[in-house]
Amino acid sequence: MPRPVLALTSGEPAGIGPELTVMLAAEGVAGVDLVAVGDPDLLAERAERLGLAVEIVPLALDEPLPAPRPGRLPVWPVALRAPAPPGLLQVANADYVLETLDVAVRACLAGRAAGMVTAPLHKGVILEAGHAGFTGHTEYLRDACGVEEVVMMLATDRPLHATREGWRGPGALRVALATTHLPLREVADAISAEGLLRVLRILDADLQRWFGLLAPRIAVCGLNPHAGEGGHLGREELEVIEPALAALRAEGLRLDGPLPADTLFTPRHLEGVDAVLAMYHDQGLPVLKYAGFGSAANITLGLPLVRTSVDHGTALDLAGSGRADPGSLRVAVALAAEMAGRDPIKQR
């Protein structure tokens, strides 16, 4: 089987993305043709700063890739708009970051890459550059691919309580989100039965498609403490979540809940569960990151392409220091390669 080509966008240029990219290139990735998307001079500078011997090979999208070897990094070039010293965000480089995503999407949709892996970007600086409404890769890729709904899911291969096979197997912890990046004040209003139907259908379908989990079992969190305490602590469970789950059960989905989130994330309740749907970002992701920060990956479900990402942000405090841990990037690349090899449906 040919090695999958993966496009690795190097992320916010002032953050740790460029140095993680060259770290990975220096150590090499078995079984994958990794092509960075970013500024070749920036990547060369970060490699030199870290004392890494990395041969940067700029290429046009349609040029053949050189034979992969540790220390060689093919790059689909995108030019920085302004110098990018580590740790110092430049509004002028927001368009550079978005262009790297556009190039990777183009490569995937044209069949040049089997998937994309993204190093972290900085949402704030992209908003400051005038891209109103920007909320992250997830929704940007949804729009770039022309689909209506996507789902953010993080998975870790080292869950705290796992006893078995990691993120590939039944011991994995996978947490998907019903809502992503919005102020907490707006969360309750953003949860609708229609939205839950869309999210859970995508989650169910893509756990099968990308993870090979037939008839996955999904545990759904309530929104309120104790899942609303029978309506005394909020009525969203009774009026929104339960009706949506009932409709989906009638379609054959295997759903538990809505369950109190605090006890759902305990070993006994996670037993046999393939994924948890949390109602909002900080209901689900702190648990996931506590269990596996540094060895987890972020996956966008619902896209016509493979996209994985790291479990962390731009870490401006570490940028340029060489102290950032490339563990999550390794996991994101390995998972993207596995997903690309599994997909039986090339296009939705």
Ligand X SMILES: N[C@H](C(=O)O)[C@H](O)COP(=O)(O)O
Q: Which does 285 bind (CB under 5 to 8 A by kind): ligand NAD, ligand X, none?
A: ligand X
> CB–CB of 84/90 below 8 Å?
yes
Calpha distance 239→275 (Å, rounded): 23
| Size of the residue set binding ligand X (CB under 6 A) | 8
Q: Which does 175 bind (CB under 5 to 8 A by kind): ligand X, ligand NAD, none?
A: none
Of positions 5, 35, 78, 121, contacts ligand NAD by CB under 6 A: 121
Calpha distance 286→20 (Å, rounded): 23
Of positions 11, 68, 136, 228, contacts ligand X by CB under 6 A: 136
Of positions 311, 331, 335, 340, contacts ligand X by CB under 6 A: 311
Of positions 72, 81, 137, 330, contacts ligand NAD by CB under 6 A: 137
**CA-CA-CA-CA torsion sign (33, 60, 39, 46):** positive
**Does 131 count as an annotated binding residue?**
no
| CB 31, min distance to ligand NAD, A | 23
- In one-letter notation, the amino acid at residue 13 is P
Q: Which does 315 bind (CB under 5 to 8 A by kind): ligand X, ligand NAD, none?
A: ligand NAD
Rule CB under 6 A: which residues touch ligand X? 136-138, 281, 285, 298, 309, 311
Binding site residues for a divalent metal cation, as ranges? 181, 226, 281
Binding site membership: which residues? Answer: 137-138, 181, 226, 281, 289, 298, 307
Q: Which residues are annotated as a binding site for substrate?
A: 137-138, 289, 298, 307
Which residues make up the interface to ligand NAD (CB under 6 A)?
16, 120-124, 137, 298, 309-310, 312-315, 317-318, 324-325
